[in-house]
Homo-oligomer: A and B are copies of this chain.
């Protein structure tokens, strides 16, 4: 039985193996992914994003527990920023998730932001596909909402929760429009802290000013204390309401098409890049270009055009 067939029967070890092959960028992983593709699309994907220290991992842990109580299988993809600055907290959080370690209905996978060959958003999509094929009902993608890659990742989620904390004070006024567009649900976590009501009020006010077309989803602000489990049921309820809205409004069609486009284009860009590197290897192009750049006899822009012209067999300038 192939790895993909095993994954489709719910074989957890085969899934872990396939995810490693994806990490290692093995060609066989693509063959397996092709096999499972048609059998995916059943899982509901929830994105959790927010600044370091917002308590995202604790929230993910609580959401996982809540969905498990409903009998749902839960896959978690945690994007660990390789950035050192938040390393400690994240390690701590991961350890906390261990209460689900012996639960067969939970599969947790960490992805490092650095060293992800071929782009993090593609790796995340591929790993989510494997979790989907494995039979997970819910897939939670957790990522720090800093950096372009990280923000792109949550676009793969059906429902995105943006997690904030009180005490961002006046800075909230300066929050850029981007965050308002990314979130379907807003959470003020650590709601026992001073200023939680104010943060929630300000967020709600900004969301109301947002130009929402008639019939579109209007995001709400929820307060949680993930550490104590407070507000989790309400949050889960809102996520399910958003899911219902996606399907009943027909917005799901647009969402899936846009997500498919990003996934396809990610793969295309990634594969083209690999072909270009292989082409340059065969033609020993790189050392020649680097020599030329070193003595300023060639610039990298012209060199890239030349490589592309050779690869494609025509002058790209002429198109």
A interface list, Cβ under 8 A from B: 30, 33-34, 37-38, 41, 50-52, 81-89, 91, 113-114, 116, 120, 144-151, 168, 170-176, 178-179, 256-257, 260-261, 263-265, 267-269, 271-273, 275-278, 286, 289-290, 293-294, 296, 299-305, 307-308, 311-313, 316, 319
CA distance A274 to B119 in the complex (A): 17
Residues of B within 8 A of A273 (CB): 269, 272
Residue pair B263, A82 in contact (C-beta under 8 Å): no
How many copies of this kind of chain does the complex include? Answer: 2
- If A38-B296, A271-B308 touch, whether A30 touches B301 (CB-CB below 8 Å) is yes
Give the shortest distance, in Å, between A150 (CB) and chain B (any CB).
6
Q: Chain B contacts of A84 at CB under 8 A? A: 145, 175-176, 178-179
Docked pose: A34 CA to B297 CA in angstroms: 11
* Chain B positions within 8 Å of A86 at CB level: 51, 146, 171
B260 near A33 with CB under 8 A, answer: no
Instruction: Flag if B89 contacts A171 (CB, 8 Å).
Output: yes
A-B contact pairs, 6 of them (CB 8 A): A84-B145, A85-B175, A257-B290, A260-B294, A267-B304, A313-B313
- Known contacts A91-B174, A278-B319; decide if A300 and B83 are in contact (CB<8 Å): no
Complex Cα distance, B271 from A151, in Å, reads: 23
CB neighbours of A144 from chain B (8 A): 146-147
Contact between A82 and B148 (Cβ–Cβ < 8 Å)? yes
Q: How far is the CB of A179 from chain B (nearest CB, A)?
A: 4
* CB pair B276 A272 closer than 8 Å: yes
In the complex, are the beta carbons of A307 and B260 less than 8 A apart? no
CA distance A311 to B89 in the complex (A): 47
* Cα-based distance from A24 to B188 in the complex (angstroms): 36
Look across to chain B and name the residue whose beta carbon is closest to the beta carbon of A114. B148
